Structure 1
Amino acid sequence: MAIKITGTGSYIPSSIEKNEDFHQHEFLNTDGSNFKHDNNVIIEKFKAITGIGERRYADNHINTSDLGFFAAEKAIADAKIDPETLDYIIVAHNFGDVVHGTIQSDILPCLASRIKHNLRIKNPKCVAYDILFGCPGWIEGVIQAQAFIKAGIAKRCLVIGAEALSRVVDKHDRDSMIYSDGAGATIIEETEGNDGILAHETASFTYDEAYYLYFGNSNNQKLCRDTRYIKMDGRKIYEFALSQVPLAMKNCLDNSGIDIKDVKKILIHQANEKMDEAILKRFYKLYNTDIPEGIMPMSIQKYGNSSVATVPTLLDLIKHGKMSNQSFSKGDVIIFASVGAGMHINAMVYKY
């Protein structure tokens, strides 16, 4: 028995927010004071560190559940399945639906129920629920789907990662330039063969690390102190990711029985270009081997950090030939990995 990804889909909003669009923003320090450098310098340094040149924002009338629905329709069509045969719909997100111009998250009903409703699925035994697991949410959803299938209580699952981070950013915080909107979806099901998901690894570090990402006040002291925005301690996250993600990837690969030399692609959560490159270097250093050219595709330059959506979106783009010089072939071994709020990390070894 193999548990495989049989269909993928993604939705990338059409509205492009370029770095130069931030030139008129009033960026402030956490205490509300002005930076010593002007925005040109701030944006130039931001691009050098993150690699992001532009990102996508959802249109005002579209919410996170809509993004997930659009991606889900494509994944279902790609897998050529009847949606009524789905046993589970698992939706990873972080903030629910935040209607444009409002400050309150809406998760009643859960996004999975909304997406199932929009898909017009009548089958009540198709169970729909959300998971809140930070940026690693889509990978964790796939791991859960695999567990359901292994346990014999499901044969086919839809796993979605969707987020509209543009609705929860503090425009006075430089970190707001990192975040973007989008969705990726996958069909997971049991098939014949010895490929598919080979191993996985998950860990939650909460003793000291739980609040590296959190909800906090705007850097603009004049704004309402009751309103919260996504905030992060970038330095601590960077150091944490570099110390823990390569180890999780190695444990996962070792448990799969696959040799490092047989790995063809590594799809890491698109959080920060420099951080992902550093994770890759540390991972290969653990095996004392060189990094193969082109092994880590990157989409962050154009699409920014859409949290739970980055990895399934990257997978879908490559699968459907939408990334230059990147493709999958039958039998390719792929490592998926992510790190995010919680602090959670996970990894998965997959044979295409």
Structure 2
Amino acid sequence: MTSKIIGVGNYIPSETIDNLFFDKHIFFNEEGLVLKENNASITDKLKKITGIEERRYASSDQVTSDLGLIAAQSAIENAGIDPETLDYIIFAHNFGDVRLGTVQSDTVPSLAARVKHLLKIKNNFCVAYDVLFGCPGWIEGVIQANAFIRSGIAKRCLVIGAETLSRVVDIHDRDSMIYADGSGAVILEASDDNSGIKSHLSASYTLKEKDFLYFGKSYNTDTCRDTKYIKMDGRKIYEFALINVPDAMKQCLDKSGYTIDQLDKIIIHQANEKMDEAIVSRFYQLYGTTPPENIMPMVISKLGNSSVATIPSLLTMILNDELELHKIKKNDVVLFASVGAGMNINAIVYKF
């Protein structure tokens, strides 16, 4: 027995933020000094490195659980199921509900409990909980749901990934331009046929890598020193990812029993276009070959990095035929992979 996806859904916020939005921002470096480059040069460099031209922000009245609810409702409708039949609701995020204009994260009750409440599920034995695992949180939620299903504890699970990173960025840090908001969700169900999850792998690198992504003070030293924002050491993350993610992907694929030439798609966390391309290239190098054309769909140029939401949102777009060059059909083998704060890495091989 394994688990398979029977429904998908996403929510892409309607507020489009292009790179011109940051034209009047004052960016500082880590020492609190104003960057000498003009903002046009900064945004141009961002586009060349990450591929990001636009990103989406949640509307002023929305929080992360609102975005997750919309994706969940869409997945439930797509699956054609009664939400009362769900055994688990697993909500992957990192910062909880942060209302616009505030700096406080709200995670009590859990975001999963809030979604269950708003779905009006009466079944008390539908267990709702959150997963905090960095950007790989949604994949980790799917891995946990699969474990529940394989063990016989559950037959059907809802796994949500949602984030409003626009609420936790330092506007004086140029890295703030990378982050975005969004959500995605899937319904997983027990399966005895040949489709579903074939293998998975997870790892946490914490000995030296724990603080590659962290919460830190604003680069503008005149602002409130007690307020923390999402921060990262981009160079260290890039080097870490290129060394460790391809190997994890290879281990997962090898464990599945499929070969590299049987792989139809790679859906990777949309963190940085050049980094993702380099990861996939190195992954194929481990097999002595090169990536085929259109193996890896990318939407980061228009949607930015929405953390846990990138993979389920992208999967929904593909299955809904919203990406012209990318299709997933029955019997296709897909490799999912992610890397993020922790530093955590995970991967899944899935047959549709």
Task: Give me the TM-score of the superposition, normalised by structure 2.
Answer: 0.99
Calculate percent identity across the aligned residue pairs: 64
Q: State the Cα deviation string for residues 70-95 of structure 1 (Å, max 9, x = none).
A: 00000000000000000000000000
Q: State the Cα deviation string for residues 40-75 of structure 1 (Å, max 9, x = none).
A: 111100100000000000001000000000000000
Moved more, 269-278 or 321-330: 321-330
Asked if 1 retains the 8 angstrom alpha-carbon contact of 2:2 and 2:150, the reply is no
Structure 1 gap ranges (5+):
none
Match of 2:302 in 1: 302
The alpha carbon displacement at 1:195 in A equals 1.5
Match of 1:154 in 2: 154
Match of 2:27 in 1: 27
Match of 1:210 in 2: 210
Give secondary structure in 2 for the equivalent of 1:211. Answer: helix
Aligned residue runs from structure 1 range 126-137, under 5 A: 126-137=126-137
Match of 1:117 in 2: 117
The alpha carbon displacement at 1:149 in A equals 0.5
- Amino acid in the other structure paired with 2:46: F
Aligned residues: 352
Please tell me whether residue 256 in structure 1 is matched to residue 256 in structure 2: yes
Alpha-carbon distance in structure 2 between the residues aligned to 1:222 and 1:326: 47
- Amino acid in the other structure paired with 1:257: G
Asked if 1 retains the 8 angstrom alpha-carbon contact of 2:161 and 2:312, the reply is yes
Alpha-carbon distance in structure 1 between the residues aligned to 2:168 and 2:2: 39
Give secondary structure in 2 for the equivalent of 1:298. Answer: coil
Moved more, 299-308 or 30-39: 30-39
Give secondary structure in 1 for the equivalent of 2:264. Answer: strand
Alpha-carbon distance in structure 1 between the residues aligned to 2:71 and 2:172: 31
Asked if 1 retains the 8 angstrom alpha-carbon contact of 2:2 and 2:146, the reply is no
Q: State the Cα deviation string for residues 190-222 of structure 1 (Å, max 9, x = none).
A: 123112100001000000000100000001110
Alpha-carbon distance in structure 2 between the residues aligned to 1:341 and 1:291: 27
Task: Give me the TM-score of the superposition, normalised by structure 1.
Answer: 0.99
Give secondary structure in 1 for the equivalent of 2:20. Answer: helix
The alpha carbon displacement at 1:263 in A equals 0.3
Aligned residue runs from structure 1 range 55-66, under 5 A: 55-66=55-66
Give secondary structure in 2 for the equivalent of 1:208. Answer: coil
Match of 1:41 in 2: 41
Alpha-carbon distance in structure 1 between the residues aligned to 2:69 and 2:191: 25
The alpha carbon displacement at 1:290 in A equals 2.0
Alpha-carbon distance in structure 1 between the residues aligned to 2:58 and 2:65: 11
Aligned residue runs from structure 1 range 217-236, under 5 A: 217-236=217-236
Match of 1:86 in 2: 86
Give secondary structure in 2 for the equivalent of 1:8. Answer: strand
The alpha carbon displacement at 1:30 in A equals 1.4
Alpha-carbon distance in structure 1 between the residues aligned to 2:299 and 2:348: 19
Give secondary structure in 1 for the equivalent of 2:275. Answer: helix
Alpha-carbon distance in structure 2 between the residues aligned to 1:134 and 1:283: 22
Give secondary structure in 1 for the equivalent of 2:317. Answer: helix
